Amino acid sequence: MRKYLACIATLCLLTSYRGVAQRSNVRAADRLLQSEKPNFAEIDRLLREAAAHEETKNDPYTYYIMGLVEHNKSKAEYRKLITPGVVGDTASMFRSVVAEIYGWRKTDSLERTPDKTGRISLKYLKKVQDYVKEDKDRIYSAGLFWLDRKSYQEAVNAFTAALSAQHILLPLGEQNLPADSTTANLTYYALVSAYTGKLYPEVIRLSRYKDRAANRNEVYQFVARSYLAEGDTLGAMPILERGAELFPETTFFFGTMISIHQARKEYDKAVALIDRALKVAPTNPNLLVLRGNVYFLAQDWARATEIYKQVLQLSPDNYDALFNLGQVYYNNAVTLLSKPLSTKLDEHKAKEYFRQSLPHLEAAYKRSPDQVRDLLGNVYYRLGLEKRYEELYNEAKK
């Protein structure tokens, strides 16, 4: 029994010693950092061990020193860049100034968290905030630097770090970033970087800032498109709904929701959405085209025809209305001819539908020849207009 107890005591002492050793590691890293030529490889090793150990992984001092290491690296590189005759590395400077925020964000979080007695003890936060004030503009510049070079993930990292810097600078008790131009621009650039780089999960992660961003209409579209790119229509719908409320004249939000309902064959819901949008902009030709398209997909040719004609009264050169109305007449004709027992009267009506489709398709062809050519050629053929049929395809060969 005595041997067993002695063994337990030894293990306790070893555990305690290892914890003390890890705190000593952080102090050793601090001392090395203050030397004339810091050994950054050794400093990083000591800090990694401390961050992985139970006794020091939740110690603000560990992460304060982590941030300070990167801050010093960034300053050292900056001094090289501004010293004549000395070669510096701009990319390294910006990577370090962004990396410092990881450690200091953790310091900030740990120090703002009350202990078991409800007390908050601030040992390092004031120092961290002073350093962040010194570096926040450079972190912003890092984002612009990487965005300009189309290094989108690094740009996202930098702008996100700049947002974290704004969080660190908040007074105690505050949790939300101020609705100011700095927050608005940082958020916008972070989302632009992520969306342009097709980093759709990053866009979705950053979407919690969407209502603080500049150019909110554009930002809501980024977020919705990112959900759709990830195949998540369920996640996209609330964004599209809110976008439609905030920006009712932007047809993207209504149009995309309508497309989703159309894909699900929920035509009544699609029409209800369009009617809602038309209350805001009753003569918007794009919305009217969408309404016509719903009836087109539902094969309600009569209603589709009526709406496309209405669009062409408002906007005679509207390509979508011209092409789609031409297709409606064509589909009416083909439907008649496909009847198992079609009559001469059906053939006569079908020919009339082909004639009605012709001027609309010819007008649409002038706007988009490649998309319209085959359908127009089919109408020429059905009407026996061989010469125009040949001219159409000879023109395509030129």
**Residues 351 and 383 sit within 8 Å (Cβ to Cβ):** yes
pTM of the model: 0.74
> Residue 148 to residues 36, 100, 142, 189: CA-CA distances in angstroms?
35, 22, 10, 11
Which two structure tokens, joined as six digits, stand for 219?
A: 């930002």
For residue 100, name the pLDDT band (cuts at 50, 70, 90).
very high
- The per-residue pLDDT for 22 is 64
Among candidate residues 13, 44, 9, 39, the one with its CA nearest the CA of residue 26: 44
Confidence of residue 275 (pLDDT cuts 50, 70, 90): confident
User: What are the structural domain ranges in the chain?
Assistant: 317-398
Given a contact cutoff of 8 angstroms between Cβ atoms, the answer to whether 348 and 365 are in contact is: no
Question: Residue 173, class by beta-carbon neighbours within 10 Å (0-12 exposed, 13-18 middle, 19+ buried)?
Answer: exposed
For the cut 90, the answer to whether the pLDDT of residue 367 exceeds it is yes
**What is the average pLDDT value for the chain, to the nearest integer?**
89
Contacts of 308 (CB under 8 A, 6+ apart): 289, 292, 321, 324, 325, 328
> What digits encode the pLDDT tens for the residues 37-88?
888 888 888 888 888 888 888 889 999 999 999 999 999 999 999 999 999 9
Q: What is the pLDDT of residue 17?
A: 40
**Confidence band of 23 (pLDDT split at 50, 70, 90):** low
Give, as one character, the DSSP assignment of residue 177. P
pLDDT tens per residue across span 237-268: 999 999 999 998 787 998 899 889 988 888 88
pLDDT at 320 over 80: yes
Task: Check residues 285 and 159 and name the one with the higher pLDDT.
Answer: 159
The pLDDT value recorded for residue 371 is 94
Q: Could you give the CA distance from residue 221 to residue 13 in angstroms, rounded to a whole number?
A: 59
Q: How confident is the model at residue 274 (pLDDT cuts 50, 70, 90)?
A: confident
Euclidean distance between CA atoms 331 and 357, whole angstroms: 10
First to last CA, the chain: 100
User: Quick one: how many helices (H) and strands (E) in the chain?
Assistant: 18, 0
